[in-house]
Amino acid sequence: MEILRQKLSLLPEKPGVYLMKDATEQIIYVGKAKILRNRVRSYFTGSHNGKTQLMISQIADFETILTESEVEALVLECNLIKKYNPKYNILLRDDKSYPFIAITEELHPRIMVTRKVKKGSGKYFGPYPNATAAKEASRLLNRLFPFRKCRHVPSKPCLYYHLHQCLGPCIEDIQSSAYEQMRKEVTSFLKGDQHKIITQLEQKMQDAAEALEFERAKEYRDLIADLRKVGEKQNITLNDFVDRDVLGYSVTKDQICIQVFYLRQGKLLSRDNFIFPFFENPEEAFISFVAQFYTDKITLPQEILVPPIDITLLSRLFPILAPQKGQKRDLVHMAMENAKKTLHDQITLEVRHIEENLQALDDLGKSLNLSAPRIIESFDISNTAGTNTVAGMVQFLDGKPNRHNYRKFKIYPMANMDDTAAMRQVITRRYNRLKQENSHLPDLILLDGGKGQISAALDALHSLQLNIPIAGMVKNDHHQTAGLLNEKGLPVIVEKNSPTFHLLERIQNEVHRFAITFHRQQRAKNMILSELDGIPGVGPKRRQTLLRYFKSTAKVRTASLEELQKAGLPAQIAEIIYQHFQEEKKRDS
């Protein structure tokens, strides 16, 4: 602490970035400041809410990086957050790459959906947060306009040519000028003008009907219907055909929800919401989010609308506006209201879930004459006809999976390899280790099994001189949770529709899923092991070489010395493999 005080006294009154570290020198928080001295000192003075205080309690050291301006500090903060992923920062782990519709810049252009924008490779429209809508629009345009469909120009015409959906550059000399009018019409369509194309299609449908070409008329009718469906999915909010994002946020004491509306060509296409804990001023948390969200984006919207905040920093980096009146302000207000509702709904659901879990744990404890068990560890044994036996252990904390403390166990060979012996072994190994490490023991052990497993687990605990409550979860003929057994193997009454029963179902399903997944991994790994393993000089690469050449281990076994050498093996290794299988034949005979 003395070192921290000394470093705090040396902080400059300049802009920059600060990096908070824990006792292991792990960076746990990155922040920016207009005046580093004031900002960093504020963490160590005054009172803070619970989550911020938790972060501060873990700060063992910090370092700073000076910048020329607060804008530079914001950019650097964003880059460092993406580099270090500090656990107390807003992290955009689910950063999305949205698709674009492109008209490629080729001699014979194509219309395609892509997530990569390459400068000079074509004309791009988007991004489209709704990938399905982008694909549907691309499909319709490819039916309407005879652009090239093939990735490479083939040597003979394909079905698209015969359907009049391609001009056929594979067999005809098509000039680039032939595509210009189509480019203009597609551009007009993607900028929101569908009326012109629909009018043209209606005329074509009428002409086809008058010519008694009813199949062609039906095709035009279906195309018109599809185009109108695409139009109906988009709610027009502004008529200026501008691409813009609209952001709003709402906060509680320690959480922030940010809502992003995506408007393309004046139409609301989709939205995202992000919910994070925050450990700073809400406005600064919002600014940090915006900087991370838009930095390194391939393309930016023409406008980014935000609530009335100080946008001085952001406006130097992005096309940010904080509208004060009119439709744009109404859009921001709508985003704020949606953020507020999303946050309220999530908190309400979390509170209900917590209350149900606490009730379930309290009732479970009463059923077993215990206090409500906060920490529950559950075990399941998995094998196939007694082979590849493994065990899985899951831990639930306050009724929720605590995946950090899940454990896998390979069962060591024993004279008696049944499930009860395996359970005895894994319980002994797990709690002998916790005892040696003086680690916290669970409040309850739940076994996926009946009286035999309960008895084996109790024997293991008694041999370790530990007293941890144990219960067994039994299943019905359909492998579904059926009930609970106490330490004496007697049934415990649990109502089928109660929160306690649903908690037992979640625990039993989770431990079974975890154990059987591990078992399948081990079985697949053992299946990969072949007769070639264990032969001196044959490692994974040579085994792959042999199997690639001979296609099976059986053919390797019967191969001659010359054939083994033809597979690319050194003469000495080929001789070793050949002799290995010759000796095996002698033993078998």
Check which CATH number belongs to the domain holding 442 and give it.
3.30.420.340
Same-domain status, 250 and 205: no
Ramachandran quadrant class, 126 (left: phi over 0; alpha: psi -120 to 50; beta: rest): left
Ramachandran quadrant class, 433 (left: phi over 0; alpha: psi -120 to 50; beta: rest): alpha
Q: Are 535 and 575 in contact (CB under 8 A)?
A: no
What is the C-alpha R_g of the chain?
Answer: 33
Q: Is the dihedral of CA 56, 58, 61, 63 positive or negative?
A: negative
Q: Is the dihedral of CA 226, 231, 234, 240 positive or negative?
A: positive
Same-domain status, 300 and 442: no
> CB-based contacts of 312: which residues, under 8 Å, 6+ apart?
none
pLDDT at 92: 63
Give the whole-angstrom CA distance, residue 112 versus residue 200.
Answer: 23
Same-domain status, 57 and 173: no
pLDDT at 365: 93
Q: Is residue 560 part of a domain?
A: yes
Same-domain status, 129 and 257: no
pLDDT at 269: 67
Q: Is residue 535 part of a domain?
A: no
Same-domain status, 187 and 315: no
Establish how many alpha carbons lie within 13 A of residue 575's alpha carbon, considering only the half-sphere containing its beta carbon.
3
Helices in 438-498 by DSSP H: which ranges? 451-463
User: Is residue 354 classed as helix, strand or coil in its secondary structure?
Assistant: helix
Give the whole-angstrom CA distance, residue 588 versus residue 361.
Answer: 60
Task: Give, as one character, the DSSP assignment of residue 370.
Answer: S
**Strand-pair partners of 19:** 30, 63
Same-domain status, 389 and 490: yes
Instruction: Find tokens 């185009």 and name the residue.
Output: 227
User: Among residues 199, 233, 267, which one ends one of the domains?
Assistant: 233
pTM: 0.49
- From residue 453, alpha-carbon distances to 265, 393, 447, 546 in Å are 65, 14, 7, 45
Q: Is residue 365 part of a domain?
A: no
Same-domain status, 571 and 511: no
DSSP H/E element including 41 = helix 36-42
Same-domain status, 226 and 160: yes
User: Among residues 49, 84, 119, which one ends one of the domains?
Assistant: 84
> CB-based contacts of 575: which residues, under 8 Å, 6+ apart?
561
pLDDT at 240: 66
pLDDT at 254: 79
Of 28, 17, 71, which Cα lies nearest the Cα of 295? 71
Q: List the strands of the sheet with 244-251, edge to edge.
A: 235-236, 267-277, 255-264, 244-251, 303-305, 320-321
pLDDT at 237: 47
Q: Is the dihedral of CA 202, 204, 207, 209 positive or negative?
A: negative
Q: Are 32 and 20 in contact (CB under 8 A)?
A: no
- From residue 526, alpha-carbon distances to 146, 409, 458, 520, 522 in Å are 54, 16, 32, 10, 6
Same-domain status, 334 and 422: no
First to last CA, the chain: 78
Same-domain status, 18 and 76: yes
Q: Is residue 292 part of a domain?
A: yes
Same-domain status, 250 and 213: no
User: Is residue 196 classed as helix, strand or coil in its secondary structure?
Assistant: helix
Give the range of the structural domain holding residue 341, as residue numbers without chain letter.
244-345
Torsion of CA 569, 575, 577, 578, to 10 degrees: 120
Return the ∠ at Cα 162 (arms to 161 and 168), rounded to 5°: 20
Same-domain status, 566 and 508: no
Give the whole-angstrom CA distance, residue 103 versus residue 113.
Answer: 9
Q: List the strands of the sheet with 100-104, edge to edge.
A: 111-114, 100-104, 122-125
User: Among residues 491, 525, 559, which one ends one of the domains?
Assistant: 525
Domain count for the chain, please give it.
Answer: 5
User: What type of residue sits at position 63?
Assistant: E
Q: Is residue 51 part of a domain?
A: yes
pLDDT one digit per residue (tens) for the chain, 589 residues:
667 877 888 888 888 889 999 888 889 998 888 899 898 988 888 777 777 788 888 898 888 888 888 888 887 887 788 778 888 887 665 445 668 888 888 888 999 888 877 777 888 876 666 677 678 778 878 888 888 888 888 888 888 888 778 888 888 888 878 888 888 888 877 766 667 778 888 888 898 888 888 888 887 787 777 666 655 444 434 556 678 899 999 998 878 999 998 887 676 666 788 888 887 788 888 988 898 888 877 678 899 999 998 888 888 889 999 999 888 888 899 889 889 988 888 888 788 888 888 999 999 999 999 999 999 999 999 987 666 789 999 999 999 899 889 999 998 877 777 889 999 999 999 999 999 999 999 999 999 888 999 999 999 999 999 999 999 998 887 778 888 999 998 999 888 888 899 899 999 999 999 999 888 887 766 554 456 766 888 877 787 788 778 877 778 888 888 888 888 888 888 888 888 888 877 765 5
pLDDT at 234: 44
